[in-house]
Amino acid sequence: MSTGWIKLHREIKDHWIWEKDEYFKAFVTIIIECNHTDQTVLIDGELLDCKRGQKIYSLSTWAKTFGKHWSIQRVRTFFALLSRDAIIEVEGLRKTTRLSLVNYETYQGEQQTANTQPTRSQQQLKNVKNEKNKYTVEQIIDFLNSTCRTSYKSSTKKTIDIIALRLKEGFTFDDFKTVIAKKHSAWDKTEFAKYLRPETLFGNKFEGYLNELKEKTQDSTMKVF
């Protein structure tokens, strides 16, 4: 049985997920089911990585987990809606799927309870980190807007959360600039131009984009010699 807490913001009442009871219940189920820590899962003799904020389930298993009246097709439809709204990312594997909950830290990150308030020094340190992250978020969004001719706001909660998560993982401002510049070069004036947005560029595939671009750069360097 799952233990621990999940967090939901009051703004959920203004979201389309709230409008259907079965959608809201299924969404909360996804948050509960996603891994709290990195794991390796054995599926039919194959070891698969399943990181924090991810879950490896087949569509039929999701249907059973969501409960009565849920079919595989209904799961597909629901996941398509969540993907379109940049709430989840679903990767089709050989015999199953890997679901990644975007902004997992928003729902399951560290939190303070009423009986465990931070000390003054801890709060001061947190404030310094928040101010530094806020400045970095503004820099990243400014670079994205100037490079891709977009007009995203650095004050949007979803944008702040997704960039803060990547910063917490150790990625730097230069890493963000690299992904933005290279993906703009690859996607601009193509059907993929619509994905030049924070949710896609800085989501769970961010590290993959960065490594992919670094590998291409190394290959090009080797060809010169």
pLDDT digits (tens, 9 = 90+) for 82-129: 988 888 999 988 889 999 998 887 777 655 444 445 555 445 445 445
Q: Give the strands of the sheet with 54-57, arranged side by side.
A: 54-57, 97-101, 88-92
The first and second tokens of residue 120, run together, are 């003054």
d(CA 38, CA 61): 20
The first and second tokens of residue 157, run together, are 């909660």
The pLDDT of residue 136 is above 90: no
Residue pair 51/35 in contact by the 8 Å Cβ criterion? yes
The first and second tokens of residue 75, run together, are 């799961």
What is the CATH architecture of 10-108?
Orthogonal Bundle (1.10)
d(CA 81, CA 75): 10
What pTM, to 2 d.p., does this model score? 0.50
Average pLDDT, the chain: 82
d(CA 128, CA 175): 22
Residue pair 53/168 in contact by the 8 Å Cβ criterion? no
Residue pair 177/143 in contact by the 8 Å Cβ criterion? yes
pLDDT digits (tens, 9 = 90+) for 21-41: 999 999 999 999 998 888 998
State residue 216's pLDDT score: 56
Using pLDDT thresholds of 50, 70 and 90, give the confidence band for residue 214: low
State residue 110's pLDDT score: 57
- Mean pLDDT, range 60-64, rounded to an integer: 95
The first and second tokens of residue 208, run together, are 């993959």
Residue pair 26/66 in contact by the 8 Å Cβ criterion? yes
Q: What is the percent of the chain where pLDDT is above 70?
A: 81
Q: Where are the domains of the chain?
A: 10-108, 120-215
Of residues 60 and 12, the one with the higher pLDDT is 60
In the chain, count H helices and then E strands.
9, 5
The pLDDT of residue 183 is above 60: yes
Of residues 16 and 224, the one with the higher pLDDT is 16
